[in-house]
Structure 1
């Protein structure tokens, strides 16, 4: 073959290659769903999967529809998935990510709760997927580790870019615009987000530049009722469950934990059909799941919601039913274990059983049709709690009876900046007023406690130093969650030598977790008690915001602390109740340690006060006593000369 012939053949081949490239570029793209792409191209790595090799949709059919919502031609924009742990949530996100990079390119963001989880996801999910999936390697601009387009948390690919962020860096989150947003463990992400931003609004704002083509996925396991963001999104979704047909009657139903039955010795378990009562063994589960489908509870809603529990684990890819029964029985004695099982295995938000009766409407229904004042005759002592804010003082006055039965006398907010004197004068006037009982006896505030940290600390310390109120102490929340209700006081003032001033302000640490446990325990147990046996009694003159604030927090056993419910009213009524209870534990008062004799003595003292009231006009008043000449101010009772008291000197009310 001559040289000219060879050159001509080479041009012909080049012409064919160019023509094929142009044809591929202008040809209509064949519609492909995410599940189809995953089954054709996705390869699971041994580094992050228990079943390495080609991806198969039939291993877990429940993942197919949530993935396909992110196909290029799907009209779905928002998806929320509540799945148990080890159910393939990360693989579902990886398939969506790989498909979007190859078939539907654009700016993509993957958001994780923290830096540690971000690094784990990159090392165990992203990098192995890139290494084992040639289709993804072909669309990456570079695979070299030193290229700026292939950094650890940033990947540049044909037609788009991948950003990997975490909740600990909200500044970088806010500076990114993307079309596809994938959020892993959304509840944990919301808890870790710094800066006070609303996680929903901030993340959804990242896709505002793509109003018609954006897609958002928020996936994870739920947390605590009232604070779980994922559960709140689920409540707004169409709430889809995987319905499976009964092998006996064919009735379609979702698998629920309440349908699982087991023998008393937990050696055998089975599922009971809610239609025919037939016994369903676990070996029948694969055929049932394969024949199942997602069914929407509210099909009119736009947000897609998918939920499954541990009963749907594919055989060999999760615990067996009997293993789950053993986990459930083992968790009954430990609230933390029970919460973990409910969150991680049942994919449900946790609610402390003791908190179920502590609903603001249920507590408000117990209010008695009596006025706040005069207070009931069984009230024998009064304390107060004060919460300091930048523009007000929230004051809670509580009455106490035998056995520490509580009667909220008043909750009021005094407007004014604590840096000025006017609000302190109003506080002194409020807490110095006598409190009248129904029988005419008069009570005084025995002690009061005021939070000193967070807002106007120096102003609170200055007021405590002035001693204008009886047993008025500064307090602060104890760091340890297992701290006692009232700890030993600590010095907070420094003298000119830089040492603690022994004559300065003593501040008491308060175990808020312990007191809130006690309060909510009382509220919960009062639900089943008669009026006279309740520990907390209320007047119907208290408004709904008071009851909402008193029950505005819920206990999280994982963190061993109380957290404010989402969209709950301000929690000042709860905080000030805690402070007023701490005041009742004042070392000079200690109402919680009073014996029957001490309560009897206080009751007798108040009754004697009633007997000393002035006689009415119908009784003959005794003759007034013979007046005694007043002695000079500079002589005492024995006629001894002494120095007059300075004007403005503080007199100890005790």
Structure 2
């Protein structure tokens, strides 16, 4: 308070137009500098908490440092001693992202708990996507359950599939599935949220949209790529740091996946383009021929947001933690 009382506002702008002011939490008489520092230290290693700190304490818009393209070799070298398809004991939830190509479906299954995520496996379902066979393969994959280390089976909770290619086939497949487990999506670069409210696709014989039909979710792919790359760029903790604090929140772990997976996962970089109006915009540019594993991870992240897992209360996560804490054949998990 004494410091604030002795302070003096010094204008730095030479403009004689409308005055604008920016104040962060350091100016607040209800918050000490020590408290602000403590908030920063608690948030700096947690992307979600740090986002809140930047927005509320610093009074600034948050920008992910995700435009910094991760080094694929570093990610490859830090793989866990875990086979693809093996579920770590910490995993409580599985989501799936699907990218549609002419001759195959690219599929990533991602495991989650309240703090971290794991690539479980990436699959390629080979087949002409204009025919039924490969879609039957995808149905079989959706129905598969993975072995959890504690003796339980863990299913894919929700699957998101891109509808940008083979749109009619995607809608046809989604229409046959439970709306609670499968959704069609469409990427939008300019969308500033991970997902937006879904739009109704199906219409009845009168030409009116029917709520009973499928819905299309728009996905903010640019923001999700930034979020993903921010997580991938987290510095690996030292052995001492692991003993004290464990892995940082938002840390992503990978199994013994091949090099091609990581080359595709890091296949884009965010660049700034200046427009003729004088403004600038961010644009994602490919630096590697294929980016399917990146797309699949983004779609699996979108699925996490669609079911609202990012907003689950601690009690929901505790229920899952208790369920997978020990094997039992007669346990019931509420949806």
Q: TM-score, normalised by structure 1?
A: 0.37
Partner of 2:44: none
Matched with 1:491 is: 200
The answer to whether structure 1 residue 560 and structure 2 residue 270 are counterparts is no
Q: Deviations over 1:65-109 (max 9, x none)?
A: xxxxxxxxxxxxxxxxxxxxxxxxxxxxxxxxxxxxxxxxxxxxx
Could you give the per-residue CA deviations for residues 579-625 of structure 1, whole angstroms, max 9, x where no partner exists?
Answer: 00111122xx31111222211111112235x1338xxxxxxxxxxxx
Number of the residue aligned with 1:448: 159
Point out where structure 1 has 5 or more consecutive residues left out of the alignment: 1-332, 337-351, 614-653
**Cα distance in structure 1, aligned partners of 2:178 and 2:65:** 44
Q: d(CA) in 2 for partners of 1:580 and 1:354?
A: 18
| 1:408 to 1:498, Cα distance in 2 relative to 1, 3 A | same
Q: CA deviation at 1:525?
A: 2.0
The corresponding residue for 2:324 is 606
Distance in 2 between residues matched to 1:607 and 1:335, nearest whole Å: 37
Verify the 8 A CA contact 2:183 2:215 in the aligned structure 1. Answer: yes
Q: 1:504 to 1:355 in 2, by over 3 A?
A: closer
* Cα separation, 1, equivalents of 2:208 and 2:302: 28
Query: Cα–Cα, structure 1 residues 409 and 555, in superposed 2: closer, same or farther, change >3 Å?
Result: same
Are positions 1:536 and 2:251 aligned together? yes
1:398 pairs with one of 105, 110, 127: 110
* Match runs of 1:257-272 below 5 Å: none
Return the match for 1:517 from 215, 223, 226: 226
Give the C-alpha shift of residue 334 in structure 1: 11
Equivalent residues of 2:232, 2:252 under 8 A apart: no
Instruction: Summarize deviations over 1:175-201 as a string: whole Å, max 9, x none.
Output: xxxxxxxxxxxxxxxxxxxxxxxxxxx
Q: Is the contact made by 1:368 and 1:537 (CA closer than 8 Å) also made in structure 2?
A: no
Higher relative contact order (CA 8 A, sep 6+): 2
> Structure 2: how far apart are the matches of 1:612 and 1:467?
27
CA pair 581-356 structure 1, distance change in 2 beyond 3 A? closer
- The reply to whether residue 595 of structure 1 matches residue 310 of structure 2 is no
**Matches of 2:183 and 2:98 in 1, distance apart?**
10
- Verify: 1:466 aligned to 2:176, yes or no: yes
CA distance in 1, matches of 2:315, 2:178: 31
Contact 1:486 1:509 in 2 (8 A): yes
* Counterpart residue number, 2:209: 500
> Which residue of 2 is the match for residue 584 of structure 1?
304
SS in 1 for 2:324: helix
Compute the displacement of 1:443 (Å). Answer: 0.7
Residue 126 of structure 2, aligned match among 397, 411, 415: 415
Question: Whole-Å Cα distance in 2 between the matches of residues 426 and 468 of structure 1?
Answer: 17
Q: Tell me, yes or no, if the aligned pair for 1:478 and 1:509 is still in contact at 8 Å.
A: yes
Larger deviation, residues 481-490 vs 354-363: 354-363
Is 1:385 paired with 2:97? Answer: yes
Shift of 1:418: 2.3
Structure 1 window deviating more from structure 2 (463-472 vs 408-417): it is 463-472
Determine the C-alpha separation between the residues in 2 that align with 1:391 and 1:459: 13
Q: 1:474 to 1:334 in 2, by over 3 A?
A: closer
Equivalent position SS for 1:499: coil
Secondary structure in 1 matching 2:80? coil
Deviation at 1:439, TM superposition (A): 2.5
State the alpha-carbon separation in 1 of the partners of residues 185 and 144 from structure 2: 23
